[in-house]
Amino acid sequence: MRRGFVAVVVGLLAACALVGFASAFALASSAGADTGTTDTSTEPPPPTTEPPPTDPEPDPPKPLLIASGVTVGDLAVGWMTPRTAGELLKRRFSKPLVLVVSPTRRVRAAPQELGAHARIEKAVLRAKSARPGVHIPLDVEISRAKLRGYLERTAARFDREAVDAGVVLRGLKPRVIEAEPGRRLKVLRNALAIRKALARHLREPIGLDFEALKPKVLNAKLGPSIVILRESKTLLYYVKEKLVRKFGIATGQASYPTPTGNYEIVNMQLNPWWYPPPSDWAADADPVPPGPGNPLGTRWMGLSAPYVGIHGTPDAASIGYSASHGCIRMRIPEAEWLFRHVDVGTPVFILSR
């Protein structure tokens, strides 16, 4: 009986092995049929070329905006970026000031020319963290030295001296000029007004303040006048604008030339003494009293030029030459005639021609 049981078990095991082998063969045949080949290789599949998935790029950060209602200086910068606010502040501060010189003359000056610098970066930095509605001042630094220098250059352009009424030459004819007031820029006062405008960010026109300069001589009359032509050795006598008489004269030597310029008669003497001038020309000479042979003749008309005058001369042969110590010599009768027709204050114009 035991021998029979063993035989049954062995048979069952053999049957199971046959069934397993048949199943494996069927599977192999099915795989070969699907690929069109009977290759039973176990090599791994080729790597895939598809890139691995990546994370999406993050959105750029939104710019920080200044809180609503914030102002810097006189500019509302709420809901602006700090960069935009800075550019607008710079543009507004850079607007030039208009300086009014006269009703018809204005000068435009940029704040930088006036020595002004606004602390824009500092103000914008404060605005970035400010609460809504906060006002932030825009500080301005001003160089007093640079502002003063600008105003001094402006004064050099627009200051003018007062003009006295008087007699001048136009060509060879005397003319009367009217008195004209002058002006001088008040540098310190105008500097203060400009500093206030820059600090308060004001751009209304600023009228420059000038000091009025009054002429000393307000009126002048055109009476007798003398015009001396040094090289031509000629004296012209005018009454108002009319040439009345012409005289031949002698003028100064090359070493002691008659000076050119605008003068007037300041001293008149009848039968004068002659005193030697302080120069080597008359170093050993003594004073000469009035009378025949006096170097001044009989009349002396002293000018506002030192040691220079119009006078007669006993040396009539010197007329027409450069012979004197700088004075204007005339023939004695002609000097006496001129003496009667002029007075202290009569203008004398000496020209080189």
Active site residue 311: yes
Catalytic residue (choose from 135, 311, 325, 341) = 311
Give, as one character, the DSSP assignment of residue 57: P
Cα–Cα distance between 309 and 258 in angstroms, integer? Answer: 10
Active site residue 16: no
Catalytic residue (choose from 117, 135, 201, 327) = 327
Comparing CA positions, the residue from 282, 281, 277, 167 lying closest to residue 226 is: 167
Contacts of 350 (CB under 8 A, 6+ apart): 228, 230, 258, 259, 260, 261, 262, 263
- H or E stretch at 71: strand 71-72
Cα–Cα distance between 270 and 352 in angstroms, integer? Answer: 29
Cα–Cα distance between 195 and 197 in angstroms, integer? Answer: 5
Question: Could you tell me the two tokens for 250?
Answer: 């002698």
Please provide residue 29's backbone torsions phi and psi, each rounded to the nearest 5 degrees: -65, -40
Catalytic positions are 311, 327
